[in-house]
Amino acid sequence: MKILLITPYFPPEVGSAAHLFYELGQALKGRGHEVLVLTGQPRYHVAEPRGTTRRRLLVREHFQGLRVWRVFNLEIPWNVPVLRGLDQFASAFLTLLAGLSLPAFDVALVYSPPLPLALAALGLGRLRRRPVVVNVQDLFPQSAVDLGVLRQPQLIRMFKKLESWVYGHADLLTVHSPGNRRYIINAGANPERVTVLPNWIDTAAIRPGPRHNGLRAALGLNDQFVVAFAGIMGYSQDLETVLKSARLLKDQADIVFLMVGDGVEKPKLVEFVKINRLDKVIFLPMQPKAKYPEVLAASDLCLATLRPEVRTPVVPSKLLSIMAAGRPVLASLPLDGDAPRLINEAGCGVVIPPAEPNTMARAILDLYQDAERRGQMGRQARQYAEQHLSVAAVAGQLEGILRQVGNY
């Protein structure tokens, strides 16, 4: 089959969203399919500038065996929601226009949200008379409403209608957890067109590694107990709770907090550390994909956190990376979501309620004192990831879905 992947982010951008479809594209290519990618030009968390290509309307290139078309987009600050919303519609329109010039394809898979991109993909599918599968990664706009980011009633109604339209007109929808499936069916999707497809992780690229590695040596950590968070430092991640727990544990000389990533909340977090003189909290910028496994390997305990306002059943993508690395996870997030179910099913960590620094500090201290328990959790995490979440396993499931939708 000729499979078109439509995604807002793609390498060389760094981040889970960018690499999700890249890994999938490589896996589908390895299964004998021709993979086309339609995406935006790199602009966020990019290690190296793209030069003059950023100003071109459409850039065609080969990227590690994949044929990629990159559409022009604006430089929009992440912390201005209105501009980001307008940018999403503009980028979606340009993506639709670019898609009309692409070679023939058999079926398309689009990453959503942003909802305007899914809308553009469905429009492209109708114009090109090809089926479109919508891969739902986040339940927007509800997630933004829960966090208080989206408050205007008119905008909420508009996005709710757009969400319902996308769910109702997709040839098929995939979601990464049962809770997400229930939500989008209630939002207007046909139950017969919604299937659970777990997110995937490259278990060959991320695997258990030596705890004492180059990163530990560079940071002078020696044999200290490293509690790590790695990812986007945004509002929903509730990282202030992590730093408050670090403040409670500041007299524990062997416990170090490693905060790796960037985002709109990072300056506030850095200031909090400075004011509270938390000298055992270390910040690092977003790391290249090749460096990420070393961050996980150097960690004794990895964090997955969400604010209590996040009521949608989110499974943070970082959780899969932690599991693939064979490290135990401490998850501080709403207990009625799908992530706690996954953690308990895999036996790979401890789940605590969100926004409770005292509870987090106690959990960290308990795990710090129980190396045998941490080791067992790490082994179970890796085993579960290999069996159920590897990119090869999930790509096989998706291949069957795409063949069914495309009648192949």
Write down the residue that tokens 């519609």 correspond to: 89
Contacts of 353 (CB under 8 A, 6+ apart): 308, 332, 334, 335, 359
397, 382: one domain: no
Contact 78, 84 (CB under 8 A): yes
370, 401: one domain: no
265, 278: one domain: yes
Render 181-229 in DSSP notation, one character per residue: HHHHHHTT--GGGEEE----B-TTTS----SS-HHHHHHT-TT-EEEEE
53, 83: one domain: yes
With a cut of 70, which residues of the chain have pLDDT below it? 44-45, 47-55, 77-83
Q: What Rg value do the Cα atoms of the chain yield, rounded?
A: 21
- Structural domain contains residue 153: yes
* pLDDT for the residue 81: 63
- Structural domain contains residue 206: no
71, 134: one domain: yes
pTM here is: 0.82
Identify the CATH number of the domain in which residue 360 sits.
Answer: 3.40.50.2000
* pLDDT for the residue 53: 55
- Structural domain contains residue 373: yes
What total number of domains does the chain contain?
2
* pLDDT for the residue 146: 80
196, 227: one domain: no
* pLDDT for the residue 89: 87
182, 308: one domain: no
Q: Which residues, listed in sequence order, are joined to residue 344 by a DSSP beta bridge?
A: none
Give the C-alpha separation, 241 to 204, whole Å. Answer: 33
- Structural domain contains residue 205: no
Residue 265 Cα to chain centre, angstroms: 17
242, 314: one domain: yes
- Structural domain contains residue 209: no
- Structural domain contains residue 31: yes
- Structural domain contains residue 156: yes
- Structural domain contains residue 366: yes
Give the C-alpha separation, 392 to 390, whole Å. Answer: 5
* pLDDT for the residue 344: 96
185, 269: one domain: no
Could you tell me the residue range of the domain that residue 361 belongs to?
214-388
382, 311: one domain: yes
29, 135: one domain: yes
- Spell out where 47-125 has E strands: 58-63, 66-71, 107-112
11, 55: one domain: yes
Q: What is the pLDDT of residues 76-109, one digit of tens each?
A: 766 666 667 788 888 999 999 999 999 999 999 9
